[in-house]
Amino acid sequence: MSGTERTGPEPGSGYPSVSGTFVRMFVKICGITNEEDGLLAVALGADALGFVFAPGSPRQVTPGAVRDILRRLPPGTRTVGVFRDEKPARVVEIVNSLRLGGAQLHGREPESEVGWIRERVPFVIQGFHAGDPAMAAAAAGPADVVLIDAPEPGSGKVFDWALAEGAPPGVRLLLAGGLTADNVGEAIRRVRPWGVDVSSGVETSPGSGQKDARRLQRFLEEARAAGTEVEDDGWEPAEARPYDWQEGEARR
């Protein structure tokens, strides 16, 4: 399939569809560092797992460690490699050699690099800091999903959710930044994103790199409940370009 021929998830797959019909809140659990946490997140119903390759992160993992984790995950598990200002060729090499579902770019990557990467991997999430004026052009950009995070990604700090209103229409908005089971419901009701992304908010302690089973379960429950609530209100996410997780999975 070419970079411009993208199709959505299969009907009934439990994922937000591309037709504008809200299926359920997409939840990505980021900062997976070990097999146990990956299996736990999948068992509890996470939609995708994120593996951080960015140097300096307390959750940084190596390609070799991720390869070992992936061998134990159920077939079809959706996976994302998280990078920050990495060389585009290296991003593509890691994503494709590990057969990850896509890449999350969390630095200051120019649109030309994002597009180059997107032509070579199945799926791209592009991260922006809350209030970043560059986010205004994201609707016309090559990324499949736009992520809004706090100015210090992974810090566990909450930003003013009013800043998420700067996201352009027609994009899938993935909300991150200090989310926990205590505030994710309010965040979803206020921002009404396509999905939410959590890391430190479900850890045993912020930055530990170890997930807490109870916090993880409660976060997923609260996110799903809020997603159902906004769906019942008649809200639907803005229609955006289709995407294809299955392309990456087919190579697994």
Q: Which of 30, 37, 197, 244 is catalytic?
A: 30
How many whole angstroms separate alpha carbon 71 and alpha carbon 69? 5
Smallest CA-to-CA distance from 101 within 120, 126, 86, 122 is with 122
Cα four-point dihedral sign 207, 211, 214, 218? positive
Assess contact for 44 and 77: CB atoms under 8 A.
no
Dihedrals φ, ψ of 52, to 5°?
Answer: -90, 120
User: Is 212 considered catalytic here?
Assistant: no
How many whole angstroms separate alpha carbon 252 and alpha carbon 60? 23
User: Is 144 considered catalytic here?
Assistant: no
Q: Which of 47, 149, 197, 244 is catalytic?
A: 149
Catalytic positions, written as ranges? 30, 149
